[in-house]
Structure 1
Amino acid sequence: MITEHKIYLNAAEIAALWAAYMNDSVGVCTIASFISHIEDREIQSVLEFALSLSNNHLQKIISLFNEEQYPVPDGFQQEHDVITEAPRLFTDDFCLFYIQNMGKIGLEFYTTALSNAARLDICEYFTECLNESARLLNKATEIMLLKGTFIRAPFIPIPPKNEYVQKQSYMAGFFGQHRTLNVIEISNIYYNLIQNQLGRTLLMGFSQVAGSQKVRDYLVRGRDIADKHVEIFGSLLSKEFLPSASAWDTMPTTSTTTTFSDKLMMFHATSLIADGIAHYGRSLALSPRRDLAALYVRLTSEILNYAEDGANIMIDNGWLEQPPQASDRDRLASPQ
């Protein structure tokens, strides 16, 4: 579609491009650090593919912002936020697990970005990013399956027929007997368990190499919260005699040498928290059993408090880069 007038980026498009730039700049730093220590050639090929996607995204977003005369975010840079000579912090298997989960997060992010975009070139860009995220996820999943490190969601017996809810007790769960989990609830529990496993290992490694004691303590706290949530979600499945995926686990190395800047690790931690909050909210909406709904509310409250403390640390250190925001019309209308 060709128009005779210039179509400016709207707020939703700017928001998605700004957030994408921040996330890809973190991705470039993190993945480049991983690649410098990778020994497995198959895993290395997946990481290199992910790195090339992030680098291409950054160049495209810079070009878009420059065309619109919009300031490019500072984001993160390898020369400032990665210590290239630092020893290995994470294993090959964890690096692959990390990339596979970043592919999942990318799919969700770009789906939302595309659904809110209007300008044709931006729609095409996010469609391309969405397809690339799917390719990355599939590549990583394929290698995990080949290496036997992919933990599948639980299997259930095939039901003999379709059924309809007959009683209000379908939503019960606080007292006495309650129904077994349905597949939607199992799927969400499984996803949240896996994401917390990722967060637990990532924050465990980060806590070993943080420079500031305050940051170190914050990351340890996040590690412990993630570990507790893994146990909670695992127990929900175990009570139904379903496998809990807790068999997947790989620890960081014992390195305590600074690997990433505290700023990058804090941004990474808070980004995972935001993703966790979003998934808990979605799980809450899709879980009719009242005990599950109450659980998601409680867990969300816990990580909301944790997120606020993280934001305060970033503000105190001047690390929290502010997204573009609307004009303050009241201030503009007040006497100068």
Structure 2
Amino acid sequence: MNDKSQGLTSADITQLWAVYMNDCALECQLQYFSEIVKDEDIKSLVQHGLNLTQSHIPKITEIFNSERYPIPYGFKLDEDVDINAPRLYSDAYILYYLQQGAQTAIQAYSINLSLAGREDVYNYFSECLQEQDEWLKMVNTVLQSKGLYVIFPYLPKPESYDFVQNQSFLTGYFGERRPLAGTEINNLFANYHRNALGSATLIGFSQVATNTDVRKFMIRGKEMAQKHCEIFGSILSEDDIPAATRMDDLVTDSTSYTFSDKLMMYYSTGLIALSVGYYGTSMSASPRRDLGTTYNRLLNEILKYAEDGANIMIKHGWLEEPPRALDRDELAKKKG
């Protein structure tokens, strides 16, 4: 493993930069949640998550400073959130938000750890992964205690092992479709649940957005998430498998300024990026061809949505440029 004298690799700096940005945004959200949450058990979880987030930022800053690498601007508590704003989301929403956030962080830190090229960076991501593991366990325990934990569908127990006998296992466009495989059920169910949370999130964002472009973008995203829920739910219902529940009722009627448009656009485009990854994984794990076609169609839809979101952020000067390679042609032009 590389030592500090060799500097940060592209993987090191890119992942650290992304984590710094995410933690800055998360600090704003968790500070607000800590003010509005009523349930003491959930409040304790929010505070634990906030403590973790606030401990990460100076550690990454120290690594950046040691390399004389510029600190990202990120997000600021005095610019991007009003922690005294009225309640926008219910306690149940906050709990589901914490669960999804911890699940996403575990996946991200696992990838970061596998790519880390320097020992101090590896140790940092290893520590973060262990923290998120413990935090997710805490969140799930509270979800279960409140009767809110979403349980994946059960499958019948087979009498013995079996092998696929013919090509019909892969079909699904016409005629009789085989029942969904376990991996297909898991992905459909999880994607429904994530879109249900996404819909609730974007409903709240649309209510408090101040910019017209942002408000329209959030409404469009909400409608897209709801449509995707309907699609995934209908596929599950063909095999009499219930989908997770919708969460739109977990949003209040507040329209007061809560988060900056910049922060909400960052968060919503991040949700889109996650969806691209989840849909791609789901497509690769779905042998039934009709499911692959459905995921591909939905992927194209959210990719277009992502591009429109990036254009809005660029238009308003909200898109902070990530680490990138040198533009050699531009350097040559300056020389001349």
Q: Aligned equivalents of 1:81 and 1:331: distance in 2?
A: 34
Q: Aligned equivalents of 2:317 and 2:18: distance in 1?
A: 18
Report the equivalent of 1:111: 110
**Structure 1 runs not aligned, ≥5 long:** none
CA contact (8 A) 1:151 1:248 kept: no
**Structure 2 runs not aligned, ≥5 long:** none
CA contact (8 A) 1:65 1:71 kept: yes
Structure 1 residue 2: Cα displacement: 9.1
Residues 257-315 of structure 1 show CA distances to partners (whole Å, capped at 9, x for unaligned) of: 01000000000000000000000000011111000000000000000011110000000
Q: Aligned equivalents of 1:150 and 1:195: distance in 2?
A: 14
Report the equivalent of 1:273: 272
Structure 1 residue 151: Cα displacement: 1.4
Please state whether the residue corresponding to 2:250 is helix, strand or coil.
coil
Report the equivalent of 2:243: 244
| Root mean square deviation of aligned Cα | 1.3
Matched pairs, number: 335
1:10 aligns with 2:13: no
Query: Could you say if the C-alpha distance between residues 15 and 2 of structure 1 is closer, same or farther in structure 2, counting changes exceeding 3 Å?
Result: closer
1:154 aligns with 2:153: yes
Structure 1 residue 126: Cα displacement: 0.6
Q: Aligned equivalents of 2:2 and 2:34: distance in 1?
A: 43
Q: Which amino acid aligns with 1:322?
A: E
Structure 1 residue 250: Cα displacement: 3.5
1:83 aligns with 2:98: no
Q: Aligned equivalents of 1:247 and 1:77: distance in 2?
A: 32
Q: Aligned equivalents of 2:329 and 2:161: distance in 1?
A: 58
Report the equivalent of 2:185: 186
TM-score (norm 1): 0.97
Structure 1 residue 85: Cα displacement: 2.2
CA contact (8 A) 2:192 2:232 kept: yes
Q: Aligned equivalents of 1:120 and 1:281: distance in 2?
A: 31
Please state whether the residue corresponding to 2:5 is helix, strand or coil.
coil
CA contact (8 A) 2:191 2:232 kept: yes
Report the equivalent of 2:288: 289
Q: What pairs with 1:98-177 in structure 2 (closer than 5 Å)?
A: 98-177=97-176
TM-score (norm 2): 0.97
Structure 1 residue 214: Cα displacement: 1.3
Please state whether the residue corresponding to 1:6 is helix, strand or coil.
helix
Report the equivalent of 1:213: 212
Report the equivalent of 1:30: 29
Q: Which amino acid aligns with 1:193?
A: Y
Structure 1 residue 51: Cα displacement: 0.6
